[in-house]
């Protein structure tokens, strides 16, 4: 109903096409395609590959809105992996970021400010895992999930509205 971006990443090559209502197609930067859980899947090299989605107000959620960011991941890499992120790298730090951290042992969500919300989630095992992070504007809680199970939560004050590309 309120989908802002839906990338299946099952293309054969090139652009990642948005199946959501806003048509936010992604520019491919060094992503290759391999056999996935269902059809094809984007394969990322961990350092210089990804999709760049042009800035659009529909991807800025604001502090008064609840939202969820989710992805399927399959990795054996133990370095930090930013899975979905849209944030400024200069202060004031604003945005959101869903990542795999701590040697592939945590899923983490950042919604602006200074703190990450993290929970135990062993994903660096070469199998497919569904990870998600959500912010509830009514409760102020950020929650993180691994394979459908809540693994961490804490109160946050998000700062998620600003102009920059998403990757």
Q: Are 118 and 101 in contact (CB under 8 A)?
A: yes
Average pLDDT over residues 47-53: 78
Strands 106-110 and 116-120 turn out to be antiparallel
This prediction has a pTM of 0.83
Which of 80, 154, 68, 61 has the alpha carbon at shortest distance from 114? 154
Tens of pLDDT, residues 77-110: 888 777 887 776 666 667 778 888 887 788 888 8
CB 120, CB 106: distance < 8 Å:
yes
Q: What is the DSSP letter of 9?
A: -
Res 146 pLDDT > 60? yes
Of 67, 58, 76, which is closest to residue 22 (Cα–Cα)? 58
For residue 144, what pLDDT is reported? 93
Contacts of 120 (CB under 8 A, 6+ apart): 105, 106, 146, 151, 152
């Amino acid at each position: 109903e309120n989908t802002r971006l839906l990338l299946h990443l099952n293309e054969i090559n090139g652009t990642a096409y948005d199946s959501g209502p806003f048509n936010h197609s992604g520019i491919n930067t060094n992503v290759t395609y391999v056999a996935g859980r269902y059809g094809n899947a984007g394969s990322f090299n961990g350092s210089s590959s990804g999709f760049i989605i042009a800035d659009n107000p529909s991807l800025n959620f604001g502090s008064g809105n609840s939202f969820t960011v989710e992805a399927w991941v399959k990795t054996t890499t133990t370095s930090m992996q930013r899975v979905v992120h849209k944030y400024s790298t200069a202060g004031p730090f604003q945005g959101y970021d869903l990542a795999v951290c701590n040697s592939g042992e945590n899923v983490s969500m950042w919604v602006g400010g200074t703190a990450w919300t993290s929970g135990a989630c062993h994903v660096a095992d070469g199998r497919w895992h569904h990870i998600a992070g959500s912010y509830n504007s009514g409760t102020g809680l950020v929650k993180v999930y691994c394979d459908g199970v809540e693994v961490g939560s804490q109160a946050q004050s998000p700062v998620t509205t600003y102009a920059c590309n998403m990757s």
